């Protein structure tokens, strides 16, 4: 008769590394570049680790856009890297305005290197982080 203890330990270890549902929502920016000639036509691309979760719609001529889209990833884990890229949509080339990259732990506001501030919220496994 073999012991089931190794199998039980393996099952318990896999529970601690279980995947969870990540939902990113309430995306918005403030103070994006604007001027006499042009105002930012902003959108955000969302990534978790190497997985692309999608992108928001473009908000034309708005230095302070907010988006209603939600992005869900069913294989997220605490400490995964959440990356949000803010872009300016143009006819020929979309400019990268800034990147916010953080480990999944709690709510963040993120200052963009070139200009502006990115706000966002997320839940992991249905609990506010």
| Tens digits of residue pLDDT in 80-105 | 999 999 999 998 899 999 999 988 87
Mean pLDDT, the chain, rounded, equals 80
Taken in order of first residue, the domains within the chain and their CATH numbers are 19-126 (2.60.40.150)
Buried/exposed 8-20: b ≥16 CB within 10 Å, e otherwise? eeeeeeeeeeeeb
The structure tokens 């501030």 sit at: 117
CA distance 60 to 42: 7
| Tens digits of residue pLDDT in 22-58 | 999 999 999 888 877 778 999 999 999 999 999 999 9
pLDDT at residue 112 in the model = 76
Confidence of residue 107 (pLDDT cuts 50, 70, 90): low
CA distance 53 to 75: 11
Is this structure's pTM higher than 0.85? no
């Amino acid at each position: 008769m073999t012991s089931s203890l190794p199998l039980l330990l393996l099952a318990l270890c896999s529970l601690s590394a279980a995947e969870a549902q990540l939902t990113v929502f309430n995306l918005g920016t403030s103070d994006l570049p604007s001027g006499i000639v042009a105002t930012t036509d902003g959108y955000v691309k969302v990534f978790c680790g190497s997985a692309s979760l999608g992108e928001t719609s473009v908000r034309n001529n708005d230095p302070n856009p907010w988006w209603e889209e939600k992005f869900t990833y069913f294989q997220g884990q605490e400490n995964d890297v959440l990356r949000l890229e803010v872009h300016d949509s143009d006819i020929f080339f979309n400019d990268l305005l800034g990147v916010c990259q953080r480990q999944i732990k709690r709510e963040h506001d993120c200052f963009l290197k070139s200009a502006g501030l990115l706000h966002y919220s997320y839940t992991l496994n249905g609990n506010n982080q």
